[in-house]
Amino acid sequence: MKNLLSIGVQCWEWFAQHLYHLFSLFACIQLAALMLVTCIDVVGRYLFSSPLVGSVELTEILLGSLIFTSLPLVTWRKEHISVDLMEGMLPKQIRSLRDILFNLAISISLFAIGTKVWSLATRSHRYEEISEYLEIPVYYLTYFLAITCWLTSVTCLVLIGTHLLNKNYPTQGTSQ
């Protein structure tokens, strides 16, 4: 069982390394675009009395996609906000079991959320829904959100495997 788990983790390592860099780059581009849209809107609004048309819509789209792009990255790096009031009082085996159960619960939850979001994206595609001002098809973003939920779900499962194999990677924070 441990060999099969090790092979699965190694396959994911190769894929995750490239995906990690791709999502990091994409998040940087989204953040830069968000800053650019905000700057153009503010300069246009206050210097020329002409704000950027659709800036609120672009900000909503960029912010939503940035959050979901970052979700697998934050999960992989183990950088979620956590409160460790009783961390020192729990034995290592209990903490280990807790981490495995939390990752499993998160994985199942995000898989269910991703499935629901995918069905919403399919419905949006079928009805050809578009954004209000810029008329951007909504389903592109919605499909992307579902995919990032599923990637984060798989990442949580891989974290369980890496925890069981006692592995840690340079792009990850330290395990608590």
Give per-residue pLDDT as tens, 87-104. 778 888 888 898 899 999
Structural domains counted in the chain: 1
Q: What is the mean pLDDT of residues 49-73?
A: 93
Question: pLDDT (tens digit, 9 = 90+) per residue, 123-146?
Answer: 999 999 999 889 999 999 999 999
CA atoms within 13 A on the CB side of 49: 0
Report if residue 110 sits inside a domain.
yes
Q: What is the largest CA-CA distance in the chain?
A: 66
Report if residue 19 sits inside a domain.
yes
- CA-nearest of 106, 78, 68, 40 to 167 is 78
- 137, β-bridge pairs: 130
| Domain around 120 | 2-82+89-164
pTM value? 0.84
**What pLDDT sits at residue 65?**
95
Instruction: Quote the DSSP letter at residue 48.
Output: S
